[in-house]
A and B are shown apart, each in its own frame.
Chain A
Amino acid sequence: SQTIHQWPATLVQPVGSPLSLECTVEGTSNPNLYWYRQAAGRGLQLLFYSVGIGQISSEVPQNLSASRPQDRQFILSSKKLLLSDSGFYLCAWSRVNNEQFFGPGTRLTVL
């Protein structure tokens, strides 16, 4: 069976500090991978998606970037965090054109 992990579960960072969130998937190969952000009590905003190693599509201009160094690893980064980067970050995977499965999320608070 497939599992998806996100690390860390929670993070408190000062404004201007760097960020690195990691997502890994087990039990499948060549998945599509996605990063979403969710503000408190709000819907899901797609940030990035990837259909293969080194292939990143950005959905909205922002202070964040994504990378996919390995087939089942997806990383979300920032060089300098803003207050507005606070939120709940969700990683998801899917097989091509199929349903998405979400990880447990990372709660980021920027102070």
Chain B
Amino acid sequence: GQQLNQSPQSMFIQEGEDVSMNCTSSSIFNTWLWYKQDPGEGPVLLIALYKAGELTSNGRLTAQFGITRKDSFLNISASIPSDVGIYFCAGRIQGAQKLVFGQGTRLTINP
């Protein structure tokens, strides 16, 4: 089945630093989604991407749908303590009812 490779698996950064994470796939996706999960809660949708090359921002977050349609990245600028959590990418193949999820990037911020 389809797999998403998400990297890095974990990040330890200082408050104020910028963060970058990405996902790559062996399949072509027509949708890329980025979620954030706080401990003990369900994932929350951050950004949705629907077109190759699309660059979308949500506050300090920016995500891009790769031109090849096989990758996506998420950037967080000027990190703050509330950015701590696990970030998941997810992709959908055209016509599929299911999403394929990456394994997550755990972000830890040192104040």
Flag A91-111 by CB within 8 Å of B: 1 or 0 each: 010001101111111010000
CA distance A57 to B92 in the complex (A): 17
Decide yes or no whether A32 CB sits under 8 A from chain B: yes
Chain B residues with Cβ under 8 A from A74's Cβ? Answer: none
Closest beta carbon of chain A to B41's beta carbon, Å: 6
CA distance A107 to B42 in the complex (A): 11
Residues of A within 8 A of B (CB): 32, 34, 41-44, 46, 49, 51, 57, 59, 88, 90, 92, 96-97, 99-105, 107
Q: A99-B31, A99-B48 are in contact. Are A44 and B101 (CB under 8 A)?
A: yes
CA distance A99 to B45 in the complex (A): 8
Seed contacts A44-B43, A57-B97, A97-B97; 13 additional CB < 8 Å A-B pairs: A34-B98, A42-B104, A43-B102, A43-B103, A44-B101, A46-B99, A90-B42, A92-B42, A97-B95, A97-B96, A99-B33, A104-B41, A105-B40
Flag B65-102 by CB within 8 Å of A: 1 or 0 each: 00000000000000000000000101010011111011
Chain B residues with Cβ under 8 A from A102's Cβ? Answer: 35, 42-44
Closest beta carbon of chain A to B85's beta carbon, Å: 12
A-B residue pairs in contact (CB < 8 Å), sample of 10: A32-B97, A41-B106, A43-B101, A46-B99, A51-B97, A57-B97, A97-B92, A97-B97, A99-B48, A105-B41
Chain B interface extent, by class: 20 to 34
Flag B1-38 by CB within 8 Å of A: 1 or 0 each: 00000000000000000000000000000010101000
- Interchain CB contact under 8 A, A104 and B92: no
6 closest Cβ pairs, A-B complex? A102-B42, A43-B103, A44-B101, A99-B48, A105-B42, A102-B43
Chain B residues with Cβ under 8 A from A107's Cβ? Answer: 40
CA distance A79 to B37 in the complex (A): 30
Chain A residues with Cβ under 8 A from B106's Cβ? Answer: 41
